[in-house]
Structures are given as structure tokens and as C-alpha cells.
């Protein structure tokens, strides 16, 4: 089972994903992609970990800021276990920071996104992937911000395509989008792209 959870900042995405994982499995592996570069981020990470530790659901935390696809390809799912990856936009930020000086940054990161989408497709266990909707706001005034926003949108589309369920969480309320999706029927002679 492959599940994507998306929404804005502080929308309740992570809390929902943790509760959903606990409803699907007996234990979980929490793949943390963030890196505590400053005190504020370290405090955020501590709060997330504290929330997991205080729940009745047993979590094992694995810090993996870059090689999430490799983890999924190497990890053999155990019965009754869910993997929760939180979050893909921080994972993407890690790659952007690594390649921001490379002339072919978008191509390199596009390849990482493709590898991750394929690893998600191949994963045989339950995996939940948390991501952010960063393209709903104003257009960033600087180029790297616009490139990041565009990469994030493309990443979310690729991961959503690989998942059976996609939830949008707004104001703490999750809505499953794939059940609500509308696909126009092509006219004869045309194929849906």
C-alpha cells in the first residue's frame, strides 16, 4: 500500500500520517529527512520525535536525508510494519542544496525524483510519504526559489502517480483526492495523456 499525504505548512499532515500508519500496522519505521541546521529546526524535530515517543505506536526512527529511494529498495518489509517518510520537500531541499551550483541541477534532481518514484512503486509493504504543497503561494522572486517550487510540484505529481491513495490535509482535515479525481473522457481517436 502506497499513500501520499500533502498539504500546507502546519496543516496536520504529519499527525494524520502517523495516525493512519498506526491504523494500518503494528509498528513503524519513521524515515526523517530533515537535518537540524539551526536551533529552531532542532526544536521542531524534537517535538515531532516526542509526539511519536508518547504515542502507543512503536516507532523506530531512521535519519535519511538523501537516500530515501535506496532505503526503500534495500528494506524488506516485515508483516504488520509501515514505513513513514517525513518529509519529501525537505528531502528535495537537501538535494537542491547539494546541487545548487551545478549547471544541470534540475536534470540531476529530476533523476533523483524518478528514482524515488520507482522505488515507491516497487516497495512491497505499506509506505506513507508526507510532502508539502509549496506552489499555492506567491511566485518566489529569486530563481532558486522558483526552481525549487517547480521541482516540488513535479515531484509531488510523480509520487502521487505512484501511490494508490493521496490525501490533502487542510486545517487538520484529510481528504482522499484520488477518489474525487475527475478525468475527462477522450473523444474518439484521442488518448488520455
State the pLDDT at residue 190.
64
Q: Which tens digit of pLDDT belongs to each residue from 51-64?
A: 777 888 999 999 99
Q: Where are the beta strands (DSSP E) in 33-100?
A: 59-63, 81-86
Phi, psi of 79 (to 5 degrees): -60, 135
Q: Cβ contacts of residue 161 below 8 Å, gap of 6+?
A: 117
Identify the active-site residue in 19, 48, 99, 154.
48
* Residue boundaries of the structural domains of the chain: 2-176
Give the residues of the chain that fall short of pLDDT 50.
none
Q: Which tens digit of pLDDT belongs to each residue from 116-150?
A: 999 999 999 999 999 999 988 788 889 999 999 99
Distance from CA of residue 171 to its chain's centroid?
A: 18
Three-state secondary structure call for residue 125: coil
CA pair distance 181, 176, nearest whole angstrom: 9
**CATH architecture for the domain at 2-176:** 3-Layer(aba) Sandwich (3.40)
What are the Cα distances from residue 161, in Å, to 4, 81, 84?
10, 23, 18
Cα dihedral 106, 90, 57, 15 sign: negative
Three-state secondary structure call for residue 181: coil
Cβ-based neighbour number of residue 96 at 10 Å: 19
The question of whether 99 is a catalytic residue gets the answer no
pTM: 0.90
Radius of gyration of the chain (CA): 17
Q: What are the grid coordinates assigned to 28, written together?
A: 513503524
State the pLDDT at residue 71.
97
State the pLDDT at residue 54.
81
State the pLDDT at residue 29.
96
State the pLDDT at residue 179.
93
Three-state secondary structure call for residue 85: strand
Amino acid at each position: 500500500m502506497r499513500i501520499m499525504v500533502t498539504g500546507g505548512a502546519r496543516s496536520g499532515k504529519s499527525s494524520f500520517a502517523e495516525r493512519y500508519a498506526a491504523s494500518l500496522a503494528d509498528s513503524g519505521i519513521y524515515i526523517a529527512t530533515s537535518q537540524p541546521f539551526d536551533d529552531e529546526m532542532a526544536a521542531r524535530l524534537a517535538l515531532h520525535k516526542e509526539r511519536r515517543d508518547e504515542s502507543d505506536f512503536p516507532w523506530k526512527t531512521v535519519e535519511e536525508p538523501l537516500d530515501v529511494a535506496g532505503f526503500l529498495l534495500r528494506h524488506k518489509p516485515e508483516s504488520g510494519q509501515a514505513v513513514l517518510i517525513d518529509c519529501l520537500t525537505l528531502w528535495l531541499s537537501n538535494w537542491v542544496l547539494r546541487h545548487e551550483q551545478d549547471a544541470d541541477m534540475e536534470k540531476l534532481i529530476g533523476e533523483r525524483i524518478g528514482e524515488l518514484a520507482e522505488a515507491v512503486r516497487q516497495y512491497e509493504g505499506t509506505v506513507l510519504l508526507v510532502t508539502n504543497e509549496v506552489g499555492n503561494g506567491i511566485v518566489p522572486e529569486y530563481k532558486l526559489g522558483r526552481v525549487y517550487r517547480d521541482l516540488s510540484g513535479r515531484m509531488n505529481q510523480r509520487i502521487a502517480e505512484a501511490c494508490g491513495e493521496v490525501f490533502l490535509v487542510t486545517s487538520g482535515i484529510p481528504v482522499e483526492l484520488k477518489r474525487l479525481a475527475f478525468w475527462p473522457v477522450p473523444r474518439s481517436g484521442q488518448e488520455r495523456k
